Amino acid sequence: MPTLTGTISYIKNFIQDQDVAAIVPSSSFLVKRVCKWINFDEPAVIVEYGPGNGVFSKYILDNMTSDSTLILVESNPDFVETLEEMTAGDSRAIVVEERAERIEQILDDHGFDEVDYIVSGIPFSFLDEETRAELLRTTHDVLADDGKFLVYQYYNHLEEPLREYFADVTKEREYLNIPPTIRAYEACK
């Protein structure tokens, strides 16, 4: 559960950083809805695009196996600092200050060829069409054959582009979040 200080920090970053799409961190209900598609009983390499202040990251770290890896890709320096403090001492976590569009290079830099899951809260509606298409293609390419792209968005603009790159797309809504009616997608290769 986010603290008052964490929420205030999130609001400050929402105002100052055009890449931050939400005014408050995701609810625990949304976190559980999106993460239900992750098999936490098996070792996995998990990437999170735009983890913000780490609401999803903390849940994932609390539930993944001791031999799993979580790579947190965040471009906002304030959030990177928060994530580094949150994951200090946990060798399973790698915090990278970078944009998600560079995921291939990030994985190469850390010795990974593919990943099992990518969780994303980055606002795809903020990306131009070319950047969005390239990120979806790259995301598809770095996932293992049975990998899953788990993404949540505030608007229903991503379903059609997801279907262009992924064979199977499941959509659910989460009403217990601010803002409500957020869409959660599970996209499988």
For the segment 11-31, what is each residue's pLDDT rounded down to a tens digit? Answer: 444 444 444 444 457 789 999
**Domains of the chain: total:** 1
- Give the angle subtended at the CA of 159 by the CAs of 153 and 161, to the nearest 5°: 110
Reference 116, options 38, 173, 171; nearest CA is: 38
Reference 58, options 97, 85, 20; nearest CA is: 85
Distance from C-alpha of 98 to C-alpha of 102, rounded to nearest angstrom: 7
User: What CATH number has the domain bearing residue 77?
Assistant: 3.40.50.150
3 found inside a domain: no
Beta partners for 143?
A: 115
For the segment 90-142, what is each residue's pLDDT rounded down to a tens digit? Answer: 999 999 999 999 999 999 999 999 999 999 989 888 889 999 999 999 999 99
Q: Is the pTM of this model over 0.85?
A: yes
Phi/psi class of residue 131: alpha, beta or left (left: φ > 0; alpha: ψ in -120 to 50)? alpha
59 found inside a domain: yes
Q: Show the domain range for 129.
A: 25-188
